[in-house]
Amino acid sequence: MELISMILFSFCSIVILFLFPCLFKLFDSVRRTLPLPPGSLGWPYIGETFQLYSQNPNVFFASKVKRYGSIFKTHILGCPCVMISSPEAAKFVLVTRAHLFKPTFPASKEKMLGKQAIFFHQGDYHTKLRKLVLRAFMPEAIKNIVPDIESLAKDSIQSWEGRLITTFQEMKTYTFNVALLSIFGKDEVLYREDLKRCYYILEKGYNSMPINLPGTLFNKSMKARKELAQIVAKILSTRRQMKLDHTDLLASFMGDKEGLTDEQIADNIIGVIFAARDTTASVMTWILKYLGENPSVLQAVTEEQEAIIKSNSGDDEKAPSLSWADTKKMPITSRVIQETLRVASILSFTFREAAEDVEYQGYLIPKGWKVLPLFRNIHHSPEIFPDPEKFDPSRFEVAPKPNTFMPFGNGTHSCPGNELAKIEMLILLHHLTTKYRWSMVGSNSGIQYGPFALPQNGLPIRLTKKL
């Protein structure tokens, strides 16, 4: 009996010590013999960076998809990449196998935003942050700030009256102020100008070379970042002394039982401003362009918004403030927002990095390679959205199929601010379409990329009050 157990023990040991690693190696080598996706890696190191950046990047993506299909390899900015442009592949990377693909950003961006910011993390810390951010941006929480967003919208539009304005610049001011309101509540208006001054210096360094020497853009940005963190620390200390009830993002961060450090709070506040401002401002800029070019759609939106004023009071000037319920009575305007998000696809793609070798549809995505789900290509696929270049909000009368419409991303890192973004757009459009007209100035056919797609020169317009 003893002999049998000894033989069994020896056999098991051989399997564990010898055969398992061999089997694993065999399996590994099978993986390694899987082909890479089709495509070309271009020149050594430079890869195909020049082809991508010397033209509209969407032309590069579209020509690759046409040649190689919905998954292809390339080499950009020193990194081998796999680009994917089918709804199924995007779901695989962002949702079902999200744990195999980690978020990845250039080191300079991590330094600017702060390495504790939500975008850069996975696992427990990310889950905890996400819960806190979602708590501040869920409908129940943003309902309370509808009147304050409305005041910001009215003030902004009034300040544009009769002037030649650059739409994107002005929208950035509006979306910045809404972001601060959602983060700090209205009490912190005291710090608005200082926060703005610092943030505007900080953002200049986002795409600069990370050389931290006196006088460089990067150095100035890092100083501005430090000052921003000091302002946040001041607000935190005042709040801790006053012990008042708040329902904003800062309160959500401060209320966490396990506690976030002041540094984690500052990194995430700067991160949310970054995520909230230019994205929403670019979309608003495109909406004004598309409405300006499509008078019948503008007419339908205006009538829908006028009907809300009438149902509330019957009299424009004395109309009460918009309520949360009013924002739910705007289906036509909401479809204009959806269609703008689709056509403009301001975030053409996002970045992930394979955390290990991954097999997808018989291809190998090697560990360390960047993986880019191409949102714009999915949004512009004629099989999914017929006549994709046409601005036609009515196509959203039918809900799009799952994973085909991802302006706010998908899965664990999808946008927690999407409700707030939609509300601030609806409120501004309400006042703009019912009380004002605008005309575009100069040629408006071009698109600039930096990094979001934008109408040329930020869309100069002239705004006048309706008589």
Q: Does 414 bind ligand HEM (CB under 6 A)?
A: yes
Identify which of residues 128 and 437 has a Cβ nearer to ligand HEM in the complex.
Answer: 128
Q: Does 347 bind ligand HEM (CB under 6 A)?
A: yes
Q: How far is the CB of 204 from ligand HEM (least distance, A)?
A: 21
Least distance CB 269 / ligand HEM (angstroms)? 10
User: Which residue number, 51 or 268, has a Cβ lying nearer to ligand HEM?
Assistant: 268
For position 416 contacting ligand HEM by CB under 6 A, the verdict is yes
Each residue 255-274 as x (binds ligand HEM by CB under 6 A) or -, in order, gives -----------------x--
Report the residue number, 184 or 218, with the smaller CB distance to ligand HEM: 184
User: Is the bond leading into 451 cis (omega within 30 degrees of zero)?
Assistant: yes
Q: Does 275 help bind ligand HEM (rule: CB under 6 A)?
A: yes
Site for ligand HEM in 131-170 (CB under 6 A): 133, 137
**Mask of contacts with ligand HEM, 81-120, x by CB under 6 A?**
-------------------------------------xx-
3-state secondary structure of 389: coil
Residue 22 Cβ, how far from ligand HEM at the closest point, in Å?
A: 39
CB 164 within 8 A of CB 441: yes
Nearer Cβ to ligand HEM, position 301 or 309? Answer: 301
Region near ligand HEM per CB under 6 A, out of 130-138, 202-210, 293-301, 360-368:
130-138
Nearest CA among 42, 276, 55, 250 for reference residue 133: 250
Burial readout 377-405 (b: 16 or more C-beta within 10 A, e: otherwise) = bbbbbeebbeebeebbbebbeeebeebbb
The C-alpha atoms of residue 309 and residue 431 are separated, in whole angstroms, by: 10
Q: Is 231 one of the binding residues for ligand HEM (CB under 6 A)?
A: no
Q: Does 417 bind ligand HEM (CB under 6 A)?
A: yes
- Closest by Cα among 259, 263, 256, 245 to 132: 256
Residue 176 amino acid letter: F
Phi-psi map region of 69: left, alpha, beta (phi>0 left; psi -120 to 50 alpha): left
Q: Does 76 bind ligand HEM (CB under 6 A)?
A: no
Residue for token pair 């002041």: 262
79 is in an annotated binding site: no
Contacts of residue 170, defined as CB under 8 A and 6 or more positions apart, other chains included, come to: 156, 159, 160
Nearest Cα residue to 304 out of 328, 320, 338 = 328
CB atoms under 10 Å from CB of 356, counted, come to 12
The least distance separating ligand HEM from the CB of residue 188, rounded to whole angstroms, comes to 15
Check: CB of residue 258 under 8 Å from CB of residue 128.
yes
- The binding site for heme consists of 415
- Write out the residues near ligand HEM by the rule CB under 6 A: 118-119, 130, 133, 137, 179, 182, 272, 275-276, 279-280, 283, 346-347, 350, 407-409, 413-417, 420-421
